[in-house]
């Protein structure tokens, strides 16, 4: 399924939630809960090949690569530290776009993000949630360690390392970044599905 199909799915989900709230006299909280369930379903139904991913690096020497493998997206991220007496360090990053077209997702009421992934035990990653694409302003992050093939949950309450004084804003979520924090080592892992923790 194409990205445009998923975008139409998000818009359709929002429309259904609004219409349902009007026709069934649901409270705004109930309508938001229904919308979150539809967003979660749309995210989880994506094939890994349909993710809109942008690899990039924080330095000239690090590289990020993404390739499709059966039922997963395989990611390789560098993390290069300065040698003794050196001054460079760089890490690679992937940015996975979650938002609905030009508008951030309103995830108010969700408990967090979930990934089904296979991350080796020696890999240490940082996940950042971005309100806008291509900028870290307003982003909040949390760190986690690989435990193999598992469901990784990033509770929104753990997103405390923020670039803005206001803290994490669940009503504005555009993308997630994954950064290799495994010092001096290349990290290779596989992402199978992304969804919400409701």
Q: How many CB atoms lie within 10 A of CB 128?
A: 21
Residues 6+ apart with CB under 8 A from 21: 27, 28, 30, 31, 34
Q: What pLDDT shows up at residue 94? A: 87
Q: What pLDDT shows up at residue 198? A: 93
pTM here is: 0.79
52-197 is classed CATH 2.60.120.430: yes
**Coil, strand or helix at 23:** helix
Cα–Cα distance list, 15 to 11, 18, 40, 71, 198 (Å): 6, 5, 15, 30, 20
Cα–Cα distance list, 82 to 35, 90, 103, 156 (Å): 46, 8, 39, 33
Q: How many CB atoms lie within 10 A of CB 47?
A: 12
Residues 6+ apart with CB under 8 A from 120: 146, 148, 187, 188, 189
Domain boundaries, the chain: 52-197
Residues 6+ apart with CB under 8 A from 148: 118, 119, 120, 121
Written as tens digits, the pLDDT of the chain (198 aa) is 455 555 566 666 666 555 555 546 578 888 899 999 999 999 999 888 888 888 766 555 567 888 999 999 999 988 766 555 544 456 778 899 998 778 899 999 999 999 999 999 989 999 999 998 877 788 899 999 999 999 999 999 988 888 877 788 999 999 999 988 888 888 999 999 999 999
Q: What is the biggest distance separating any 2 CA atoms in the chain, rounded to whole angstroms?
A: 68
Give the residue from 143, 141, 135 showing the smallest Cα distance to 159: 141
């Amino acid at each position: 399924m194409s990205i445009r199909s998923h975008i139409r799915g998000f818009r359709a989900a929002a429309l259904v939630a609004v219409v349902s709230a009007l026709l069934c006299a649901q409270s705004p909280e109930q309508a938001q809960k229904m919308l979150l369930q539809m967003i979660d379903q749309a995210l989880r139904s994506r094939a890994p090949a349909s993710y809109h991913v942008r690899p990039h690096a924080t330095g000239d020497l690090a590289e990020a690569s993404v390739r499709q493998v059966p039922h997963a997206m395989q990611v390789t991220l560098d993390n290069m530290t300065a040698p003794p007496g050196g001054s460079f360090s760089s890490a690679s990053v992937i940015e996975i776009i979650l938002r609905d077209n030009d508008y951030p997702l309103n995830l108010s009421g969700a408990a967090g993000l979930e990934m089904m992934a296979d991350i080796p035990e020696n890999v240490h990653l940082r996940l950042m949630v971005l309100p806008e694409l291509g900028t870290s302003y307003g982003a909040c992050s949390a760190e986690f360690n690989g435990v193999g093939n598992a469901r990784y949950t990033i509770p929104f309450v753990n997103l405390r390392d923020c670039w803005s004084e206001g803290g994490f804003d669940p009503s504005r979520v555009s993308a997630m970044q994954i950064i290799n924090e495994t010092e001096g080592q290349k990290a290779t892992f596989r992402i199978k599905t992304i969804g919400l923790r409701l």
